[in-house]
Amino acid sequence: MNTILKVAAISACMAAPISAKADIYAVVATDHHGEGTEKLGSTLAKLASADLTPNDRVIVLDGTARERIADIAIPSENRFNSAKFRFNYLKKNFRPIATYQAKLETASSVSDANDLLSFYRYFGDTIRAAYPGEPVHMIVFGSAIQHDPRQQGFSMRGAVYPNDGHFTVDGFTSPYGVADRANHYRDVKLHFCVADNNLQSLEYEEHVERAWSLYIAGLGGTLATFTRDTKTCILRFLDKSDPQREFLLNPEEKEPVMIRLLEAKQSRKDDDRPNAKAAQPQKRLAANQGGRFLGTDIPVNTASALNTKGRLKVGVRWDCTCDLDLYVRHKSEERPLYYANKRSKLGSFFKDWRSSTKDALSYEFIEFNEPVNAQDLEIRVNFHSGKVPGGPKGAVRIWLESQDGVWEQDFHMRAESGNRGNSSTRGGHWITIDPLAVLNR
């Protein structure tokens, strides 16, 4: 740790201040198991070698204890331009961080709580309130799963998350309530470096991301980053990046409810299955964040993907009263993931909507929880049932976690009626999608 802080101070000496504009940089560790605190030093080293300018302030916080570890004000006087002064000044002010880490390494016990809500309230009442006019850039290392043993009914543990109703009420009605704290995070940009493995699936992870995004937005701030890719998270923090997507409140969810995410039941498709005509409201698409990347309001990348590796999702959506089926097979597996084979060692199949109307989209998607290379995937779509004059149209999308981006390719099938999943490639009931073409590679 001392070496890292020394590097931070040396790096800072190389960055000459060029602007008088003040920014607040908050570096927060909420994880006492090591991951969060280990990242403090490396983040500060990179921050010190970035664009710290006179009157900026770096505040390092223990999110669990809700206390300051260090508070470093960058002097406004000209002598801060001196490399020697900068080095000695930052070395002295970084020293409490090394002491803090040493204290944690010798601690005999670690709290089971992860009370992010209490920390966010503390931050708004103290740090934000103390510097109301300056932009705040906050990076948080730790678990994203809210858990306060005193309020078990609002815990996120066990694949539980709050619905949108929580973000429309005050803090007395729900600990997630923000109606009475609307401006507490004005001009605060949060980058969350998720440092745990408690997000059982990408679908649940997106429910959690959506919840925190709506919560921070309700406070007047912005959740700019939410990722388990620590390197990307730190870079976005240093670049003061804006969010790449936005979540909107569902106005029909007015009552605060904690929802447990259940696995989709195995659906059976056979020849006597009716083609359902009941509408699937658009709100279902918005509420199930696993398929959020398929929403029509999600921006689609037109540039080439920087790489094709990592955790990803593949989805299909369509807007006719028909049933299309998505099949995705990784080259290392014999069977594709689809409605009748929902689980493999690499990923899972989700959703089997069987109808659509002009007001809603039908969709299916597959998520790969293990890193894969998109070029190793075989993507196929089958026109299973229904009648569509001129043939069904739809789109295949790929979401890459490493770039938090969505790519899309439209398709048009020639067949005008479904073939019930018949494997024959004749008749235009099947279409193969090249994943690299989707990613503009």
Pairing of strands 188-194, 136-142: parallel
> According to the model, what pLDDT value does residue 63 have?
87
CB 121 within 8 A of CB 25: no
37 or 85, which is more confident? 85
CB 356 within 8 A of CB 321: yes
Number of Cβ atoms within 10 Å of the Cβ of 63: 24
**Averaged confidence pLDDT in the chain:** 79
Determine the angle formed by the axes of helices 35-48 and 230-238, rounding to 10 degrees: 40
CB 52 within 8 A of CB 44: no
Q: What is the DSSP letter of 295?
A: -
Three-state SS sequence of 54-103: CCCEEEEEECCCCEEEEEEECCCCHHHHCHHHHHHHHHHHHHHHHHHHHH
Residue extents of the structural domains in the chain: 2-238, 282-438
> According to the model, what pLDDT value does residue 83 have?
67
Region 79-83: mean pLDDT is 68
Q: Give per-residue pLDDT as tens, 414-438.
A: 999 988 888 777 778 999 999 999 9
State the sign of the Cα–Cα–Cα–Cα dihedral 283, 286, 291, 294. positive
Query: What is the DSSP secondary-structure string of 151-211?
Result: GGGG--TTTEEE-GGGGGS-TTT-TT--TT-TTTTTTEEEEEEE--S---SHHHHHHHHHH
> According to the model, what pLDDT value does residue 64 have?
86
Domain 282-438 has CATH 2.60.60: yes
CB 312 within 8 A of CB 401: yes
C-alpha 195/C-alpha 198 separation (Å) is 9
